[in-house]
Amino acid sequence: MKEQATNFKIFILLPDGIGLRNFAFSNFHKIGLEKNFDITYWNNTPFDLETLGFNEIKIKRAKLNPLTDSCKNARKHIELNLSIKKENDPVYNAYRFPFSYNKFKTSLKNLFSRFLITFYSSDKGLEKVRKKIVKLESSTSYFNECLETLKNQKPDFVFCTNQRPVLAIAPLLAAKKLNIPTATFIFSWDNLPKATMVVETDFYFVWSEHMKKELLHYYPYISEKQIIITGTPQFENHFDSNLRVSKEQFYKEHQLDVNKKYICYSGDDITTCPDDPQYLSDVAEAVRKLNAKGHSLGILLRRCPVDFSKRFDSVLGKYQDIITPITPLWEKIGEGWNTILPTKADMILQTNTIQHTEMVINLGSSMVFDYAAYKKPCAFINYDVKLKVNKNWSVSKIYKYIHFRSMPNKNAVIWLDSASEIADKIEYGLQEPQHSIEDAQAWFEKINRHPPEETSGRIWDGIMTIISSK
């Protein structure tokens, strides 16, 4: 039995909307209250958390030092350069974004980044860039405002929901200045090899022993005692029976055919998979063949939540008897990409989409673990189409990424190596699902601490342990 909190005041820093699903729409807040924590969300998103009954303090004037962004981008490239040098592995180049020079101000920022990359690509150089970022962000009015907030509120702990946003640096530095312990959560299973660490905190909450090893490998200045293995809250909803609706209700709500079984096609963003529409078309053709053999199948298209393009329109028109789009329930609150926010309604929609489909097909996404939670198979697309949208893009680049090396067995997914074999592979996945499910479960357990439904409780226990030790 873990020691209960005695109204310790915890600030949950939301530097952007990415953390909403894990830490606002899950049971994380409820469990924290049950453990007697006094919880305030330090909110830099457009979402009004008071509508959920949460205490919040809005961050109103978050503004970086003009040079910070350049240093942050340089830091990423330097870390990737060092990984290539240390591991003799060019795959790290695939994690770079090309520099843009289409605007004068952007050009100046990127030229400064390239200068830093050229002259600071060493361990000592990286340390200097890291210190420069701290110095720059400690000089801003934003930092001073964060300092005032913390002095007035006097929290016992600041927990950052995501290690990537540059706007999280100043609040965490302000906490450190006041000797308030800080931690960050590593948001995604692929983040650490990609050099996405922007913040530096006293403690780091990770998904698994595997992620802990990655953190120690890529960030040698972090010690083992600073790392707490909890899992991620993003899978907890799959184990909450209160979120589930009946098949009859789900089918009626989305106008589905009660005589059909459905496969989910999970789309990526345009950059990750520019050929998604062609792959969807290939899957639809395969389903049409299977239906001609006597099956009764349909496809539910769940597109990437931030993909508002019309790129699927022609495929949906051609296969309207087979494909039903179920649009993710994210909200576009502002104009920028970072103002497209998840909602609790979409979390429930995703849960029920998985519950009422037989399997998922996608290009290498973490949906493999969402379906593993339901003991359902996942098929990974593994071929290039003839008429590519982007000639420089290839599916082979995707599966070379470091995070796919964590797969303990290639049988964890069903591999779709050509359009011509999709029908047979779908049929096999439906008839012999156990073939891949056991290995998918093993992969899931390697990537995320089990049992997954207890993650939020483990995070709060970790916070309690840190505060108690202080």
Q: What is the pLDDT of residues 226-240, one digit of tens each?
A: 999 999 999 999 999
Tell me if 9-63+140-232+451-469 shares its fold with 240-447: yes
* 6 has pLDDT over 80: no
* 336 has pLDDT over 90: no
The secondary structure element, H or E, covering residue 9 is strand 9-14
Question: What pLDDT, on a 0 to 100 scale, did the predictor assign at position 284?
Answer: 98
Q: What is the pLDDT of residues 370-415, one digit of tens each?
A: 999 999 999 999 999 999 999 989 999 999 999 999 999 999 999 9
The whole-model pTM stands at 0.95
Task: Please name the residues in contact with 350: beta carbons below 8 A apart, sequence gap of 6 or more.
Answer: 237, 302, 328, 370
Fold of 240-447: Rossmann fold (3.40.50)
The confidence band for 19, taking pLDDT boundaries of 50, 70 and 90, is: very high
The confidence band for 338, taking pLDDT boundaries of 50, 70 and 90, is: low
Q: What is the maximum alpha-carbon separation in the chain?
A: 70
Given the candidates 3.40.50.1220, 3.40.50.2000, 3.40.50.920, 3.40.50.150, the CATH classification of the domain at 9-63+140-232+451-469 is: 3.40.50.2000
* 2 has pLDDT over 60: no
Q: What is the pLDDT of residues 239-279, one digit of tens each?
A: 999 999 999 999 999 999 999 999 999 999 999 999 999 99
Query: Considering only CA atoms, which of 351, 347, 376 is closest in space to residue 361?
Result: 376
- How far is Cα 412 from Cα 422, in angstroms, rounded to an integer? 17
Q: Where are the beta strands (DSSP E) in 249-316?
A: 261-266, 297-302
The confidence band for 308, taking pLDDT boundaries of 50, 70 and 90, is: confident
- How far is Cα 162 from Cα 342, in angstroms, rounded to an integer? 15
Q: What is the pLDDT of residues 35-54, one digit of tens each?
A: 999 999 999 999 999 999 99
Note whether 43 and 49 are within 8 A (CB).
yes
Give percent of the chain above pLDDT 70. 97
Task: Please name the residues in contact with 365: beta carbons below 8 A apart, sequence gap of 6 or more.
Answer: 266, 268
Q: Report CA dihedral (279, 283, 286, 291) to the nearest 10 degrees.
A: -160
The strand pairing partners of 49, in sequence order, are none
- How far is Cα 191 from Cα 257, in angstroms, rounded to an integer? 39
Q: Where are the domains of the chain?
A: 9-63+140-232+451-469, 68-131, 240-447
The confidence band for 337, taking pLDDT boundaries of 50, 70 and 90, is: low
* 326 has pLDDT over 70: yes
Ordered DSSP codes for 310-377? STTHHHHHHTTTTEEE-----EE-SSSGGGEE--HHHHHHHHHHHHTSS-EEESS-THHHHHHTTT--
Q: What is the pLDDT of residues 271-291, one digit of tens each?
A: 999 999 999 999 999 999 999
The confidence band for 331, taking pLDDT boundaries of 50, 70 and 90, is: confident
Residue with tokens 């993909």: 307
Residue with tokens 């849960």: 351
Which pair of tokens denotes residue 449? 């601490």
* 334 has pLDDT over 70: no
Question: What pLDDT, on a 0 to 100 scale, did the predictor assign at position 167?
Answer: 98
Q: What is the pLDDT of residues 153-181, one digit of tens each?
A: 999 999 999 999 999 999 999 999 999 99
* 1 has pLDDT over 50: no
Q: What is the DSSP letter of 166?
A: G
Question: What pLDDT, on a 0 to 100 scale, did the predictor assign at position 340?
Answer: 79
Q: How many helices (H) and strands (E) does the chain have?
A: 17, 15
* 88 has pLDDT over 80: yes
Note whether 347 and 237 are within 8 A (CB).
yes
- How far is Cα 227 from Cα 203, in angstroms, rounded to an integer? 6
